[in-house]
Every structure is written in structure tokens, then in C-alpha cells.
Amino acid sequence: MGHRIFTMSFGSVYPLYVAKLERKGRTRAELDEVIGWLTGFDESAIRERVADGTTFEQFFAGATLNPDAALITGVICGVRVEEIDDPLMQKIRYLDKLVDELARGKAMDKVLRSA
């Protein structure tokens, strides 16, 4: 069962998300907005989890997933996110998909499935 990413610290991947988005002209604030939308964490909760070594498994165990997360569809790493069986892997891929959409320049209201 255990994918390596489950035990990776969220804080080790977060700067990679930031760098990817900043290269594309997006901001850390936009990343935090997307993470907050998906997980229910505010900016300080995100910072705390980045700093304290929280694993992805712990990160999503403490999250309140947005009910609209099921609207996130498409392919990430060659796999359709809506077809991923493992609930934790699906949540991680939801986050990856949102970051990718931001990086591709998609409007925030579209990324957050509010339109």
C-alpha cells in the first residue's frame, strides 16, 4: 500500500510547488489559496505544516476536504484523478492537479471549481 509520497514531508514538496508557480508568474498566495480551498487550512495552518515535518499522510488526515474536490478531473502523471482507488493518493493528486492548472494559467475561479 505505502507509496513513498505518503511519508514524505509536505514541507519538502511545498517549495517545489512555489517554485513551479513562480516560474509561471503565479504567487505563493495563490498556492495557499488553492491549498486552503482543497484542505480547509488557512495560511498559518499551512505554514505550520510546512515547518513541522508533517507527512502527506498526516497533512490530509488533518484536512477537511472541500466537498467540491470531486469536481477535480483530468490526468496527472498519466492517470485520471477521478479513477484513483487509494483515497490518500487521490487527495495528493487533486493537489497536484490544482497546482498544474494554476501553473498553466487557468483562472483562479476555474481552478477552485466555483464557476
Judge whether 32 and 43 are in contact, CB under 8 Å: yes
Q: pLDDT tens-digit profile of 85-104?
A: 999 999 999 999 999 999 99
What would you measure as the largest C-alpha separation in the chain, in angstroms? Answer: 37
Q: How many CB atoms lie within 10 A of CB 6?
A: 17
Can you give 27-91 as a three-state secondary structure string? CHHHHHHHHHHHHCCCHHHHHHHHHCCCEHHHHHHCCCCCHHHHHCCCEECCEEHHHCCCHHHHH
Q: Indicate the pTM of the whole model.
A: 0.93
Q: Which domains does the chain have, with CATH numbers?
A: 4-108 (1.10.8.290)
* Residue 77 binned pLDDT confidence (cut-offs 50, 70, 90): confident
Nearest C-alpha neighbor of 5 from the set 60, 47, 42:
60
Using CA atoms, how far apart are residues 35 and 64, in angstroms rounded to an integer?
Answer: 11
pLDDT score recorded for residue 92:
96
Q: pLDDT tens-digit profile of 24-54?
A: 999 999 999 999 999 999 999 999 999 999 9
